[in-house]
Structure 1
């Protein structure tokens, strides 16, 4: 009996150790599957091509759910249907979370498709003629971005006392080429490359229209507030799976995939500082 009792204790000890050990690459909490959410297009591709393979090397199974709107990914994250999402810039994340009383936080900023100036009429910024028509996005956030690009390229000058991130057409102080601005919904801007002399197209819409980012006359030097980021529930920020997401995005392997598969994407400040 004594031998049987000792054997039983030994077996029990081994079972407990095995349960505690598990896959040494898995989340310390036992999490083995990460459910991502991303809008269909380049950021869903970024999850499946650049983030998921590196997380899988750490022992996770990664699933990615695609969305076609900008509302459900955050609601699904807050409800626990997603573990992380990738589709939004910082200004949108902050305002959406505040408006809907959601406790969400960013993990890390990722390379993002920049807005660009596209034209079938001109080959470069210098050749733009006076009085040319230019299509711009009509929503305040993208319009402000567009005006920043135009000022960077010397096409307009914004009043000094205006916050560039909130600038509108009425804040233009100088327009040396007397450009005629046409404001439309951002999703329509790729089509207006044909009908207007120039069109300022956000990167996600350019890619959806199968435009080559590198064909732009100029690409924005995007402020990090406008770059997309991975977001999670704030309560998960210190979880191992979130630390692992951040680690793979900070890796050289991730940047190599971006350089090969996502040409023209602007890199965030933390990448440029490396």
Structure 2
């Protein structure tokens, strides 16, 4: 009886210890899962040069840091931010600061800019003229009809002394009505930005956003003049506001700020305008 009693006590003690170890193991596993950040990430971008930038210049660097990177391509400027906000993707690259600020305000989203990247600038293109000086009176100029790109196009034309715009022109509401002087009597023809490359042979002058020029196979350096880009129009990587200080955000910034990233930009993204932080370091 004493042996059985001793055995029963030992089994009880072992049972308690095993349960305690099990609970400790479960707690450690749970804390590990909750405390760590996933290395499997998804970055969204619009189809074209910025999707290529992630694939060629950002993804390889993150993979060296241990990440598994999936790239999701979008065909519009609405879904990438919605997907980021609802957690379908972890970051995106396709927009500039002004667009991000307006979109998040209009849609009540908590998204924040992380870092700007080299961006394809607007350019003045022509199959008829070989220089800005050759552009004749009465020439037809096609340009984007959305306010932001139209405003940038008008400023580019003004920089090249082809017309003048109102000093109080707002990027969110810019239109042809903001033209204050048109000494060459240029005929402005606003069109959907994606359609502009198709009109290059049928109009005298085409002011084409860089991403649409590249998507159509147009060499940025073939422009009569490229935009001297304002920092607020440079594309950026965006993340959820709650993730601004996350490990992923830190690693994304380090990837973009690396020498390897800039080398790939110089070799595969010629004509892209580099942000000020990259030019001054």
Indicate the SS of the match to 1:189. Answer: helix
Equivalent in the alignment of 1:9: none
**Which consecutive residues of structure 2, in runs of 5 or more, have no partner in the other structure?**
1-13, 15-21
RMSD: 2.4
Equivalent in the alignment of 1:231: 238
Equivalent in the alignment of 2:89: 82
Q: Does 1:256 align with 2:263?
A: yes
Q: 1:121 aligns with which of 120, 128, 152?
A: 128
Partners of 1:176 and 1:95 in 2: how far apart? 34
Q: TM-score, normalised by structure 1?
A: 0.87
Indicate the SS of the match to 2:101. Answer: helix
Partners of 2:83 and 2:111 in 1: how far apart? 11
Structure ID, larger Rg: 2
Q: 2:39 aligns with which of 32, 39, 49?
A: 32
**Which consecutive residues of structure 1, in runs of 5 or more, have no partner in the other structure?**
6-11, 23-27
Q: Does 1:174 align with 2:161?
A: no
How far 1:62 moved relative to its partner? 1.1
- The CA deviation string for residues 43-81 of structure 1, in whole angstroms up to 9 with x for no partner, is 110000000001111111111111112111111111111
Aligned length: 257
Partners of 1:105 and 1:130 in 2: how far apart? 45
How far 1:161 moved relative to its partner? 4.2
Distance 1:264 1:165, change over 3 A: farther
How far 1:166 moved relative to its partner? 5.0
Partners of 1:87 and 1:130 in 2: how far apart? 36
Partners of 1:116 and 1:273 in 2: how far apart? 24
Partners of 1:103 and 1:163 in 2: how far apart? 24
How far 1:171 moved relative to its partner? 2.3
